[in-house]
Amino acid sequence: MNELKTQDAMALLKEDHRRIKALFDEFERTEAPGARIEVVEEAIKALKVHAAVEEELLYPALRQGFEEADVDGVVEEADEEHHVAKLLIAELELMRGTERFYAAKFRVLAENVRHHIKGEEHDLFHKALKTDIDFGALGELIAERRQRLTDEGVPPDAEARMIAKFGLRGESPSVMALESFHAPRLEKKDTLRSPRRKARGWLARITGRLD
């Protein structure tokens, strides 16, 4: 039997957590841009696999177990945290790694995931142990699914499809808000000017410089 299959579900997921946090730490230690991009790509791959096995196997089991134990809303909160993380991941995957907001976006992802991990290990997992779930059997399923997703890749999720559909560039929210603000203000004579050029001109007038 594969060694991983002898571990229960909690041990496997905590193993993932340690690896993911180590990649976040490695990003901060790494200075070369190319090496940083490689760390981000590795972290994203690990996060996508980890999120998939939790959503496909752990959370459904917990929902049933918690329903019997009369615990409400804990899995839903964890699920929503996944949703936020996957939106950031989808944006990062569309970026080249040289964009102005690339590192900031990854750091926000890391902060959100660290918060999620802390909540799972200090709250969700402890409550899960009070249920009748067979975590040994669940661990076998998680190990098998994790290996398959690692080998074959994780299919595009709803968040990735949404980001791809609307063509979001991974920009700063303030940049996109500024463009949206100026877009409807363009007069007919300005139709050849993009909202971004209009915004940059306005900023130059009030700051005395063009960023």
- At 90-104, the pLDDT tens digits run 999 999 999 989 999
- To 10 degrees, what angle do helices 9-29 and 33-53 make? 160
Q: What is the pLDDT of residue 5?
A: 42
Structure tokens at 140: 């076998």
Q: What is the pLDDT of residue 1?
A: 35
Answer with the residue of higher pLDDT: 25 or 207.
25
Residue closest to 11 by CA, chosen among 99, 101, 143, 198: 143
CA distance 129 to 188: 65
205 — pLDDT class (breaks 50, 70, 90): low
CA distance 155 to 52: 9
Tokens 């929902």 locate to: 63
Q: Tell me if residue 168 falls in helix, strand or coil.
A: coil
Q: Any idea where the domains of the chain sit in the sequence?
A: 3-166, 173-207
Q: What is the pLDDT of residue 151?
A: 96
Q: For residue 209, is pLDDT > 90?
A: no
User: 19-46 burial by CB neighbour count: b if 16+ within 10 A, else e?
Assistant: ebeebbeebeeeeeeeebbebbeebbbb
